[in-house]
């Protein structure tokens, strides 16, 4: 009798799971893993005889299993609670393949697009619920990045000043004595950039400025970006290199948006990280600004955006990652800047509105605009490479930045910039200024 009941219950479970699997909506993206989930494979001669079709079915079932995200979280929680954990314990978490680039608009997935696999190739160090990369850059690649800046400076001539404003990695601020030397390795990488810049190209010593405030919260613990505080100190370093007076944060509007979990929690689903959420604090310039962003090519169909949007995480800065963004300010001094960045530059760029009438923000990963045309037609004074170090330490990303300026220009009809004296399309008409 017991055996019959057991068989009946197993059959009910199997039928129930199969029914739920059949009728539930299939997902494209896993929020737990920041990756694209397998879809039903195409059936043809090639996939059938190679076995790819049947492997695809297996992957599809695994990825689309009912309540998969919840089960993954439950599994992680059980594994964590089965262990013994101490205060100040240090754990190394392996990360397979890094975060995929996504084009989603949620806070966590949008910022995930900023990661390159080399940033996580050695896993993550987790201390008291905060995650850090153990990587420290590459002094051997630094001359390649410095040459890029030198080439831009030579091509642009004395009318445009080129700046290196590169952020260190979070490894420079791991709160454990055995990792203190990683700060020095970050310094070696950044100094190698400085030592290979030609005269006239200015170096903002971001690391030294951050080191002077190392007891403050400079990087998030659940997210791979720096905080608004860390970005502010980078802004101060830039001002010193540019010979301008930084605006004190007491002259800005402070906002606390509360707790959030960022990209590193999404990447690891680590329980200790979840138990130590970050707080999003903002320092908002008291400058009237209006912002629009453009698609990867051309200047038509500009869309409104803001210096700070309503997102609860890092994606709030300059409305996230856009190929090209134009910020016009109430500072009427005739000065114009162009910032070449990955997403680390988003939080940095907001402070520049104090000093420029116009700021063009170019995301080198997405923009297909011709940089030389942009700089020339808009009378740019300063070209600022403001980004996280991992963008400057990859030959591939350096080449992407080179392609922005040293490639064949596209036809004027596709690359015509709206400048003073030109007619503009209805989408480029001025918009109402927004208060910070």
Q: How does pLDDT run across 353-412, given as a tens digit for each residue?
A: 999 999 999 999 999 999 999 999 999 999 999 999 989 998 989 999 999 999 754 433
Min mean pLDDT across 86-90, 109-113, 363-367, 425-429 is at: 425-429
pLDDT number for residue 426: 29
Maximum Cα interatomic distance, the chain, rounded to a whole number of Å: 92
As a whole number, mean pLDDT of residues 17-46 equals: 62
Query: Is the residue at 394 inside a domain?
Result: yes
Cβ-proximal residues to 117 (8 Å cutoff; 6+ apart), any chain: 97, 98
Query: Is the residue at 3 inside a domain?
Result: no
Structure tokens at 40: 């039903």
Distance CA 306, CA 292 (A): 8
Query: Is the residue at 353 inside a domain?
Result: yes
As a whole number, mean pLDDT of residues 318-343 equals: 95
The average confidence (pLDDT) of the chain is: 81
Structure tokens at 381: 């004074």
Query: Is the residue at 87 inside a domain?
Result: no
At 238-253, the pLDDT tens digits run: 999 999 999 999 999 9
The total of structural domains in the chain comes to 1
Cβ-proximal residues to 35 (8 Å cutoff; 6+ apart), any chain: 29, 99, 100
Query: Is the residue at 50 inside a domain?
Result: no
Q: How confident is the model at residue 43 (pLDDT cuts 50, 70, 90)?
A: confident
From the DSSP assignment, how many helices (H) and strands (E) are in the chain? 16, 15
Q: Domain residues for 157?
A: 132-428
pLDDT at 432 over 50: no
Query: Is the residue at 20 inside a domain?
Result: no
Query: Is the residue at 404 inside a domain?
Result: yes
Query: Is the residue at 317 inside a domain?
Result: yes
Q: How far is CA 138 from CA 99, 141, 187, 218, 393, in A?
A: 21, 5, 10, 22, 6
Give this prediction's pTM.
0.74
3-state secondary structure 350-412: HHHHHCCCEEEEEECCCCCCCHHHHHHHCCCCEEEEEEEHHHHCCHHHHHHHHHHHCCCCCCH
pLDDT number for residue 99: 41
At 214-229, the pLDDT tens digits run: 999 999 999 999 999 9
pLDDT number for residue 63: 61
Percent of the chain with pLDDT over 90: 56
Residue with tokens 């009427």: 332
């Amino acid at each position: 009798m017991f055996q019959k009941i057991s068989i009946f219950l197993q059959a009910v479970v199997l039928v129930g799971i199969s029914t739920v699997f059949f009728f539930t909506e299939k997902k494209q993206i896993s929020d737990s893993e920041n990756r694209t989930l397998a879809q039903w494979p195409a059936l043809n001669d090639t996939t059938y005889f190679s076995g790819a079709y049947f492997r695809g079915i297996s992957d599809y079932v695994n990825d689309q299993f009912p309540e998969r995200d919840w089960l993954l979280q439950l599994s992680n929680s059980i594994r964590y609670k089965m262990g013994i954990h101490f205060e100040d314990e240090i754990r190394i978490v392996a990360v397979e393949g890094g975060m995929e680039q996504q084009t989603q608009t949620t806070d966590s997935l949008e910022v995930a697009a900023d990661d390159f696999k080399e940033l996580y190739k050695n896993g993550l160090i987790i201390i008291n619920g905060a995650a850090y990369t153990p990587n420290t850059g590459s002094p051997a690649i630094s001359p390649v990045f410095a040459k890029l800046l030198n080439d831009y400076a030579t091509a642009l001539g004395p009318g445009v000043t080129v700046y290196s404003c590169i952020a260190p990695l979070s490894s420079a601020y791991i709160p454990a004595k055995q990792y203190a030397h990683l700060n020095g390795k970050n310094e070696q990488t950044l100094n190698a950039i400085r030592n290979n810049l030609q005269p006239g190209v200015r170096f903002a010593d971001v690391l030294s400025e951050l080191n002077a405030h190392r007891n403050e919260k400079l990087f998030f613990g659940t997210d791979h970006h720096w905080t608004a505080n860390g970005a502010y100190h980078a802004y101060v370093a830039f001002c010193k290199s540019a010979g301008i007076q930084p605006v004190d944060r007491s002259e800005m509007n402070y906002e606390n948006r509360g707790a959030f979990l960022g990209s590193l929690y999404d990447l690891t689903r680590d329980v200790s990280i979840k138990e130590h959420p970050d707080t999003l604090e903002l320092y908002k310039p008291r400058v009237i600004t209006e912002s629009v962003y453009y698609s990867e090519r051309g200047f038509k169909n500009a869309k409104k955006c803001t210096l700070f949007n309503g997102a609860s995480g890092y994606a709030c800065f300059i409305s996230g990652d856009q190929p090209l963004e134009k910020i016009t300010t109430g500072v009427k001094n005739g000065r114009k800047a162009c910032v070449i960045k990955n997403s680390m530059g988003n939080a940095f760029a907001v402070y520049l509105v104090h000093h420029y009438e116009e700021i063009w923000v170019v995301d080198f990963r997405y923009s297909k605009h011709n940089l030389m045309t942009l700089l020339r037609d808009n009378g740019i004074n300063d070209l600022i490479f403001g980004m996280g170090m991992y963008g400057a330490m990859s030959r591939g990303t350096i080449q992407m930045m080179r392609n922005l300026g040293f490639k064949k220009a596209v036809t004027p009809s596709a690359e015509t910039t709206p400048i003073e004296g030109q007619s503009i399309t209805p989408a480029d008409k001025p918009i109402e200024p927004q208060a910070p």
